[in-house]
Every structure is written in structure tokens, then in C-alpha cells.
Structure 1
Amino acid sequence: MRAITYDTFGTARDVLKLKDIPNPEPKAGEVRVKLAFSGVNPSDVKARAGSRPGVTKPAFPLIIPHSDGTGEVEAVGAGVDPERIGQRVWVWNGQWQRSHGTAASHITLPAHQAVPLPKEVSLEVGASLGIPGLTACHAVFGGGGVAGETVLIQGGAGTAGLLAVQLAKWGGARVITTTSEKDRDRVIAAGADVVLSYNDPDLPAKILAANAGKLIETIVEVEFGANIDTDTEVIAPNGRIAAYGSAKEMQPVLPFYPLLFKAVTIDIMLIYLLPGAQRDAAITRLHHALQDGALDCPVERVFDLAETIAAHEAVEAGARDGAILVNCQS
């Protein structure tokens, strides 16, 4: 099979190589998927660059990057229903604690990590369901239903943030989001009821004014450290802050007493480690939202497999309006 590989950390241009490597047969409980698209996420490029704290070398002699992807089941191992052959699927945790991810023509992995793709959903959309989709879904619904509540989504124009806006609206919430002025129209189109500038010096007061003075039950947070003071001010008693990022401030100082006396739940999420029951619930909700036509998963650009270096650089550059995908059969 053709695969993008690396064996040491570094820049995409220095370490990513296109190689032909053996295509493993599925073992018991596994499936082999002929991949159509691979999703490229910020976590994939950070892992390749070696930017995870305390990690000095790749965990395996050869790495095929990327966790997300879509394709068709080509073969099954013992114990897997042969009726799955030919099934369209989307993949989660392709390269999490495994050497071989989705930046390849094929992937072999445990059968439960290849989820049947609803027939209404394109393979391109499916390639965004693993990290962005599950992150957004658990961030919004990890504390339960949000119908009748107000959800604040900090950073609503990002890939996960935009999905969170749509999911919260689909779930019956009133949605307030923060973003830059240039992305205002995008988040309004996604369903946001109120859009505020993330760098407004009076942001807490404006969030509360937009909610008729009432505190916020659920906050979805892309920059936990940078925004914790604002979040603390506007969160309701027994509210939940679901944080999936904190790139600007990785060692935040918490206002513990104000959080304590609101009994705030801080839900720090790493979607790779989501327990099985919670993952299954998020998958079910994602599929229902997709089948209801409630989710639009925009794609910025699709690169050929041989152009994966450029795909990584596009993710690193940021300021994009959709997912970056790799065509695994190109």
C-alpha cells in the first residue's frame, strides 16, 4: 500500500515521505479499510513536529500519521461479520497509540473503530467526524441535553467550534459565540443567535447582556487559559466548562474561589480517551444530527496523497474556512 510516513520528528518537508509498505491482513476482530479521504487535524501536525510535552521521539519505528478518515471495508478478520465487506465507514483514533494512521491507501484496525457511515453522508464529511465531530458533540452534550439552555461557544469559527454551534442549535439551545469580525457571517449562517468579538475588552458584560443578564449554563472552550476569567464571570452555578484547547496559555491560573462557590464543573477533554459509552453516545448524536440535515462540515481543500506535506503546512498556517483532507487514492 502507499503511505505517508515519518520516523523522526521535524518539519513536514523534512520528515514526511511517501512509501510503498506491506498492506497487513486483518487479524481477529479487525477490518481492513480502503481509504478514500484522510482528515488532517492540528493534533496530527503537532504530533509529527514533536511538540507534545515530554515526547522526544516517535513511539514506533515508522509512523503513518492522521487519526481521521473514511473509506470502504475491504476485508475482515475472524469474528467480524463478513457482511461488513463493502460497507462505507468513518474511522476514529486511526493513529492514536498505534503506528499506522489514515494517511495511506489502506488501514487495518479494530472493527469498532470503523463506524458505518450513514448513507446520506458523503465520504468527505465523514473524514471530519473523528476528532472535530466527536469533540464538538461531547463538548456540547457531555453534561446532558441543552434544550432550553444558553450555550456559549468560545471560538465558534474553528472546525470544532463551527460544528459545536450547529450541534447546540440542533439540540435546542440558544447559542452565543465569539469569533473574529471576518468570521461573523459564517457563524451566523451556522445558527449562532449572538456573535461577539473574542477580543472585546467588555466581553463578559456583553455576554451577559446578550443573555438578558442571566448566567450561562454551558461553555464550550477552545482557549481555556486565555478565557478562564471571562468564563468564571459568566458561568452559572452548577454550570459546565468543556475545554478542548488552551494553546495560548498552557499553564493557566484558576480563580478557584469564584469557581468553587458556583460549583463549576471543568470538563477538560481529550477526545482520544473518551470512554466507550460516552463515545457511543456522541457517535449516535452525530449521526442523528447528520440525518436531520443539521450539520454542514465545510472543506477548505483536498490534497493528493503525494501532497500531504502541503496539507500539513495548510493546517499549520491556520486562518482556514474548513477541513483539510487528503485524497488517499490519488
Structure 2
Amino acid sequence: MRAIVHDRPGDASVLHLVEREIPQPAAGEVRVRVVVSGVNPTDWKSRSAPAGDPRGEIEFVPNQDGAGVVDAIGPDVAGLAVGDRVWLTLAAYNRPTGGTAQDYTVVPAERVFPLPANADFELGASIGVPAITAHRALTVTEGGPARLAPGALDGRTILVAGGAGAVGHAAIQLARWAGATVIATVSGPQKAGYASSAGAHHVVNYRDADAAEQIRQAAPDGVDLIVEVAVGGNSELDLSVLRTQGTIAVYANNGDKPATFDVRRNMGLNARYQFVLLYTLGREQMTNAADDVTAAIVAGALPVGEAAGLPLHRFALEDTAAAHEAVERETVGKVLIRIAEA
């Protein structure tokens, strides 16, 4: 089978195509024939970090997300069968050869979820890390819901920073599906169009001098929750619009401004900060999030593509390096690698 690998950290040029034996699933594992692999910022960051094997003795396969068809099942696996259409996430976490940039991958069964009949493989490969990150960010408020479903966020106002990104896109859609009023911030007109297409009720350019006033017009009492992608750069705006006892869920700090905290203002607001990282989320929370995300897909609440506010950029497996470079350049939309026909 074909696989993209790298045996040392570095830029995208370290990725190369090899032929490998098809792996066999052990107890508790599932083998998936990958149809589409999704690329996220965590994938190029993992590839470029010095955590790779400096001796070149391990060939790492990149990419955490994907969608495909169950091809084989190891012992002690329930709820999945050969031939099932599935989506998967965290395929490469603590599994150097488990990434989805290959024809077949073997992963623990708890990282594999049924792909609803109304979803294609491109949607399945787009949702893993972004949608579960968004779910976690939307469910961390004090007194708020731990699960998402229609009505779970009724009466709440959510501010999604970076509404044109993959996590921001999923957060807008999930919050809207759960009944929230959604405000998104973006950096320009094109991204504003994408955030509106995703379902944001109000879209504000965070570069506007009166951005805080615009948000306050939509949320006079302040926003309940901020899904934050750049806590350093957005700190002043966040504290200007957060309601008392509101929450800022931080899943990244994009940009070049380090995060600093105005202690007095945060104390005055009784603000809560919740930091979000999927790798340490835990199995129960991951499963609950995946179940809610799957329910949202069934409801038609998580579409992708240009019309839904998340353009798709498609690459062949042989062009995985170019796909990684596109994500590293912060290409707007979702980067996918088409590996096989369904």
C-alpha cells in the first residue's frame, strides 16, 4: 500500500511516498481503508516539531483526521463492522504510523465513528479535530451544557473569533444548531461572507475601531462565551464584550502577540478561561463530542464547501507536501487529500 512518511522533523519537503505492507488490527483496533484525509494545523506543527525520531528509525505517517470504510476488525471490537462508512480522528496520536495519509490505517476503535448516510467522505474528513475542538469550547461554561443538541444553548450569545477558520466554522454551525445567537469576528469582507454562510447571525471585522461597539449592539449585556483562536491579540476586545461571569475558551494563540492577562479586569468580570486541547480531552468527553457531532451531521447542521462557508482544497496523496504547505500558509478553507474512490 501507499503511505506518506517522514523520518525526521522539518518543513514539508521531508514528506515522501513509500510502499508499505498493509497493517493488521490487534485487539480493540480497526483497520480503515482511507478515502479522504484531512489536514489541520496540528499536522504540520507535529511534522515540523523536534519530536520526530532524530535517528530516522521511525517513519511517521501524518494527519489526524480522515474518512473511509472499515476494512478489518480486531478482537474485542463492538459496534463496528467491515464495510461501515466511518470518520476518524486523532489517528496519529501516540501512534507514529497511524496517520491518515495512507491507503490503510489501523487505529483504536474508540477513535472511529459511523459516518451518517447523508454525509460524503469529504465532510467526514473535515470534521474531526475542528468539530470536536469546537464542541469542547462550546461546553465549558459554568452552568452550561456538557452536551450539544437543539435547544442546549438557547438564550446564550456566543462570540466566535476567527469565524472563517475550520474550528470557527464548526463552532458557528454547532452553536447555531444548539440554539445560540452567534457573533463571529473576521479580518475582511471575504471571510465575513464565509462566516455568514456558516450561519453567524452577526459578523464583525475585528480590525474596525468600533468592533467592540458593534458586538455590544448585538449583545448589549455582553457575550456569554468566546471561542478564541488568538487570545493574545484579541484580549482587549474580549474583555470589552464579555459579560460578567463569562467564559473565554482558548484553543490557540495565532498571531505574534503573546497572551497576557489584565488581572484586575478579569477579576472584575469574574471571568473564566478554559484552555482546550483534544489530545488530553479524555475518552468519555471525546466520545460524547463525537456522538453530538454525528447527530449534527444527521440533522444537516455541519455542511462544508464554498456555499457553507468552508471552501475545500483538494490534493492527491502524492501531493501531501503541497497540502501541508497550503495549511501552513493559512489557506482559507479546508485542505483535503483524496486517497481513493469510494
Match of 2:204 in 1: 196
Q: Distance in 2 between matches of 1:128 and 1:121?
A: 11
Deviation at 1:25, TM superposition (A): 0.9
Q: Distance in 2 between matches of 1:41 and 1:156?
A: 16
Match of 2:67 in 1: 70
Aligned partners of 1:37 and 1:328 also within 8 Å: yes
Match of 1:16 in 2: 15
Aligned partners of 2:70 and 2:83 also within 8 Å: yes
Deviation at 1:246, TM superposition (A): 0.2
Q: Distance in 2 between matches of 1:197 and 1:251?
A: 21
Of the three residues 104, 127, 130, the one matched with 1:129 is 127
Secondary structure at the aligned position of 2:91 is classed as coil
Amino acid at match of 2:24: E
Deviation at 1:261, TM superposition (A): 2.6
Q: Distance in 1 between matches of 2:291 and 2:139?
A: 12
CA RMSD of aligned residues (A): 1.8
Q: Distance in 2 between matches of 1:128 and 1:117?
A: 12
User: Which one is further off, 169-178 or 137-146?
Assistant: 137-146
Aligned partners of 1:311 and 1:325 also within 8 Å: yes
Deviation at 1:249, TM superposition (A): 4.2
Match of 1:7 in 2: 7
Q: Distance in 2 between matches of 1:95 and 1:83?
A: 20
Could you give the per-residue CA deviations for residues 282-301 of structure 1, whole angstroms, max 9, x where no partner exists? 11221121111112122522
Deviation at 1:250, TM superposition (A): 6.2
Amino acid at match of 2:198: A
Could you give the per-residue CA deviations for residues 13-48 of structure 1, whole angstroms, max 9, x where no partner exists? 2x1110011222111111111111110111111211
Q: Distance in 2 between matches of 1:250 and 1:185?
A: 26
Q: Distance in 1 between matches of 2:299 and 2:102?
A: 32
Q: Distance in 2 between matches of 1:247 and 1:290?
A: 28
Secondary structure at the aligned position of 2:138 is classed as helix
> Runs ≥4 in structure 1, deviation > 3 angstroms?
55-60
Distance 1:269 1:11, change over 3 A: same
Deviation at 1:82, TM superposition (A): 8.9
Q: Mapping of 1:215-294 within 5 angstroms?
A: 215-249=222-256, 251-294=258-301
Of the three residues 103, 106, 120, the one matched with 1:105 is 103
Match of 1:88 in 2: 85
Q: Distance in 1 between matches of 2:283 and 2:82?
A: 24
The answer as to 2:339 corresponding to 1:324 is no
Q: Distance in 1 between matches of 2:91 and 2:51?
A: 21
Number of equivalences: 323
Match of 2:217 in 1: 209
Deviation at 1:272, TM superposition (A): 2.1
Match of 1:313 in 2: 325
Aligned partners of 1:76 and 1:82 also within 8 Å: no
Aligned partners of 1:163 and 1:297 also within 8 Å: no
Match of 2:148 in 1: none
Secondary structure at the aligned position of 2:119 is classed as coil
Amino acid at match of 1:30: E
Aligned partners of 1:229 and 1:255 also within 8 Å: no
Secondary structure at the aligned position of 1:66 is classed as coil
Amino acid at match of 2:185: T
Q: Distance in 2 between matches of 1:124 and 1:193?
A: 26
Q: Distance in 1 between matches of 2:39 and 2:53?
A: 18
Q: Distance in 1 between matches of 2:158 and 2:51?
A: 39
Q: Distance in 2 between matches of 1:272 and 1:32?
A: 21
User: Which one is further off, 141-150 or 193-202?
Assistant: 141-150
Deviation at 1:236, TM superposition (A): 1.3
Q: Distance in 2 between matches of 1:82 and 1:196?
A: 44
Aligned partners of 1:163 and 1:296 also within 8 Å: no
Deviation at 1:58, TM superposition (A): 3.8
Q: Percent identity?
A: 36
Could you give the per-residue CA deviations for residues 227-261 of structure 1, whole angstroms, max 9, x where no partner exists? 11211221112211111110224631101221123
